[in-house]
Amino acid sequence: MAELTDPETLRETVREKYAAAARAAAAGAAAPSSCCGPSEVALTDASGTQVFGDALYGAEDAAAAGTALEASLGCGVPTAVADLHEGDTVLDLGSGAGGDVFISASRVGPAGRAIGLDMTDEMLELARANAAAAGLTNVEFVKGHIEQIPLPDSSVDVVISNCVINLSADKSRVLREVTRVLRPGGRFAVSDVIADPDMGAATRADMAAWTGCIAGALTREEFGQTLAAAGLGAVEIRETHRVHEHAAAAIIRASKPTRGACCDPAALEACCAPTEKADCCVPSDSAPSSCGCQDAA
Ligand SMILES: C[S@@+](CC[C@H](N)C(=O)[O-])C[C@H]1O[C@@H](n2cnc3c(N)ncnc32)[C@H](O)[C@@H]1O
């Protein structure tokens, strides 16, 4: 249990788990057991429906993702709600075998770029092999941590991610990094797990449940607050399906304001009720928000 309090141990345990999953996929073994796939986390729900991985994708996306989808470990389809346009630069946090990067690449076209970021060498190797096999030229895979994204400020139009932010020991930092790399008006569209408020201490303290994408999940309210504190607005969180007795998969969307935030972080912390914070700095030219933040325009 103590190890769950140490961010370095957590990250290394997560890395080892996904390195093993990538090795198994590369060896052509049966798909790793889930997003997350410890035996403690069911791949299927009580009725036998698959709740993680490739079964969540439709035929068109499956064709774009190619063989990478066989090694999918996600809990949704972020590209389905990411509003991608020709020429966009897309960043996928924790890109794994690359399926969502390849789908993004097909949407943004040759004038655009899809970048996968992952910390695990074995996953990067698998993704690059998949890209080479597919002959894709507008994709690249970069090694790094989502807590310290190795890209310049305001260099990305869309950030996507599929079942990864829950694995980070410092989600506030991840979302601040998202805000930094997004261009003004840029979009954030991820699939991730959100915890029920009553998730118990035993689940929270279970390392297998953490690497299985459950124990580290924020609640819906915490996710909204963390996005707002990071400077993202227009937050939308929508549950898609249950993945655990105490957690659900969700689509989470937000955007970076097109101009300076209407509140500095201290004012944002103080000025609004938690549910209103996300609307404090909406990227629009509409009237000042109802929660009392000062409009900087
Ligand atoms: C659950 S898998 C999801 C992979 C992929 N998004 C998908 O849908 O198949 C988590 C991925 O995130 C990567 N990852 C986990 N924590 C990370 C971090 N802090 N920084 C960068 N990559 C991370 C892992 O190496 C792994 O490839």
pLDDT tens digit string along 246-297?
999 999 999 999 865 555 555 656 666 555 555 554 444 443 444 444 444 4
The pick from 11, 17, 36, 118 for probing ligand 1's pocket by mutation, whose C-beta has the most ligand atoms within 8 angstroms, reads 118
Q: What is the pLDDT of residue 285?
A: 42
- Enter the tokens of residue 249: 């998969």
What 8-state DSSP symbol labels residue 295?
Answer: P
- Enter the tokens of residue 4: 């769950």
CATH architecture of 2-255: 3-Layer(aba) Sandwich (3.40)
User: What is the CA(128)–ligand 1 centre distance, in A?
Assistant: 15
User: What is the CA(59)–ligand 1 centre distance, in A?
Assistant: 24
**What is the reported pTM?**
0.86
Q: What CA–CA distance (Å, rounded) separates 201 from 198? A: 9
Among residues 254, 216, 221, 252, which one has the least CA distance to residue 237? Answer: 252
Domain ranges in the chain are 2-255, 261-297
Find out whether the beta carbon of 73 lies less than 6 Å from any atom of ligand 1: yes
- Enter the tokens of residue 149: 């994204």
User: How confident is residue 42, by pLDDT bands cut at 50, 70 and 90?
Assistant: very low
User: What is the CA(132)–ligand 1 centre distance, in A?
Assistant: 20
Q: How many CB atoms neighbour CB 225 within 10 A?
A: 19
